[in-house]
C-alpha cells in the first residue's frame, strides 16, 4: 500500500534520472525561446555538459544508497535538494533578468547537494556496517548448544572420541614450506 508521500518520493526517484537529460536540453530550448546573445550560447555550450555531469553524479550518489534502491524512493532530504536544484536550473533556462541569481542558486545547490548526498551515503554505509558487526558479535557471544541425546548413543555429553586440542581444526589446512 503506497501513501501519497511514498508516491512523491518514488516519483522523484525516477525523475532524477530523466532530469539528467531533460534539464540540460531545457537550457538550449530556453535560450532559443527567450533569446540570448551569441556569447550566451557559447556559455551555454560550456554550461550544459557541466549541468549534465553534475546532475548525473548527484543522481548516482543517491542511487548508490541501498535504502534508496530497496525502496525505489528517495529520502525527503533528497526531495528538497532536487526541488531546489532542478527549480534553479529551470529558472535559469528562462534567461531573464534574474538568470544570474538562478545560476548562483544552481551552483550553490549543486555543491550542497553533492556533499549532502555523499554524507548520507557514508552515514548509511557506516550504519549498515555497524548493524552487521553487532550481529556478528551477538552470534559470537551465543553459547554453543550441545547436540540432543539420541537413544543408543550412550551418556549425553560423553564421547569416546578424544576432544580436539586448540588449533586442531579439521577445516584448516596447514602447508609447511620447506626451504633448501
| DSSP assignment of 147-159 | PPP-TTS-STT--
Residues 6 or more apart whose CB falls under 8 angstroms from that of 164 comprise 170
Retrieve residue 177's grid coordinates: 614450506
> CA-CA distance, 106 to 104, in Å (whole number)?
5
pLDDT at position 41: 86
Of all residues in the chain, what percent carry a pLDDT higher than 90?
53
CA dihedral 101, 35, 20, 13 (to 10 degrees): 70
The per-residue pLDDT for range 92-109, each reduced to its tens digit, is: 988 888 888 999 999 999
10-residue block means of pLDDT along the chain (180 residues)?
84 95 94 81 92 96 93 93 96 88 95 95 91 86 62 56 63 77
pLDDT at position 56: 97
Amino acid at each position: 500500500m503506497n501513501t501519497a508521500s511514498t508516491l512523491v518520493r518514488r516519483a522523484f526517484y525516477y525523475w532524477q534520472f530523466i532530469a539528467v537529460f531533460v534539464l540540460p536540453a531545457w537550457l538550449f530550448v530556453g535560450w532559443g525561446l527567450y533569446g540570448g546573445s551569441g556569447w550566451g550560447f557559447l556559455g551555454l555550450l560550456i554550461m550544459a555538459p557541466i549541468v549534465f555531469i553534475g546532475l548525473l553524479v548527484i543522481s548516482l550518489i543517491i542511487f548508490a544508497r541501498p535504502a534508496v534502491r530497496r525502496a525505489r524512493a528517495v529520502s525527503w532530504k533528497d526531495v528538497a535538494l532536487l526541488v531546489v536544484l532542478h527549480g534553479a536550473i529551470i529558472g535559469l533556462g528562462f534567461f531573464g533578468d534574474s538568470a544570474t541569481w538562478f545560476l548562483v542558486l544552481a551552483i550553490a545547490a549543486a555543491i550542497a547537494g553533492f556533499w549532502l548526498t555523499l554524507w548520507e551515503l557514508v552515514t548509511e554505509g557506516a550504519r549498515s556496517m555497524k548493524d552487521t558487526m553487532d550481529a556478528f558479535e551477538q552470534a559470537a557471544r551465543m553459547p554453543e548448544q550441545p547436540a540432543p541425546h539420541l537413544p543408543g548413543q550412550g551418556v549425553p555429553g560423553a564421547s569416546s572420541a578424544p576432544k580436539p586440542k586448540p588449533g586442531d581444526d579439521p577445516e584448516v589446512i596447514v602447508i609447511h614450506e620447506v626451504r633448501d
